[in-house]
Amino acid sequence: MDEKTEELREIFLDTTGGDTVTERQEEGHGSLADESDAAERLADLVARMRERFEFDSDRSDEDLVRVVRLYFRGADDAAIAADLDVDEGTVFDARMDLHLVRDGDREAPFDLSRLRSMHVDDVPMADRAAELGVDETTVEHYSTVVATNLESTRANDRFRDEFADLLAEQDLKGGHTEDAREDGLREAAEDIETNVSF
């Protein structure tokens, strides 16, 4: 080590109090959730819903978290059912428990507001079916949708919104990480191209 290098080393040691140039990188406060944190938070939301509301689905919390993830990725009930190896009716029940109502769920062959009124008045299913001119199975299906909408509204759509926010945050983190990596690779490639002489 020559004299100048030794002087610089002494200055560095005096200034930093250490002899290493790199520091351990740690996640700072306010950083976006990582994958395991997101999974824990989703599981916690599902568990809180199970405590607060009566679930019809017999699926595990792990399966219900999977339903949430797939739902917000745009998967339809058939795709979710295939992923979980269950039937679409099971997926529908799980979605209703989780307040994940699709616009298509509200497309009834009758005026849904009439069914909502009957549901609020606790009219028996057979009477609802007779009044609406459909079979009881259809009425039961749409009554579940109505009940879920009402339950979600009473909770200010909090759980659905929290699912959406959490998964959007995770997607945002994944997108930024990927973009940063691609930008870094692109810049490195450009540097290589400009520094090569033939």
Each residue of 157-188: pLDDT tens digit? 999 999 999 998 877 665 444 444 455 545 54
Of 147, 73, 163, 55, the C-alpha closest to 106 is 147
User: If DSSP states are collapsed to H, E and C, what string results for the chain?
Assistant: CCHHHHHHHHHHHHHHCCCCCCCCCCCCCCCCCCHHHHHHHHHHHHHHHHHHCCCCCCCCHHHHHHHHHHHHCCCCHHHHHHHHCCCHHHHHHHHHHCCCCCHHHHCCCCCHHHHHHHHHCCCCHHHHHHHHCCCHHHHHHHHHHHHHHHHHHHCCCHHHHHHHHHHHHHHHHHHHHHHHHHHHHHHHHHHHHHHCCC
Q: What is the pLDDT of residues 129-139, one digit of tens each?
A: 999 999 999 99
Domain count, the chain: 2
Q: Are residues 94 and 149 in the same domain?
A: no
Q: Report pLDDT for 34.
A: 63
Q: Are residues 40 and 93 in the same domain?
A: yes
This model's pTM is above 0.85: no
Q: What is the pLDDT of residues 28-79, one digit of tens each?
A: 444 444 677 888 999 999 999 999 999 999 999 999 999 999 999 999 999 9
Q: Are residues 114 and 90 in the same domain?
A: no
Range of the domain at 60: 35-98
Within a domain: residue 9? Answer: no
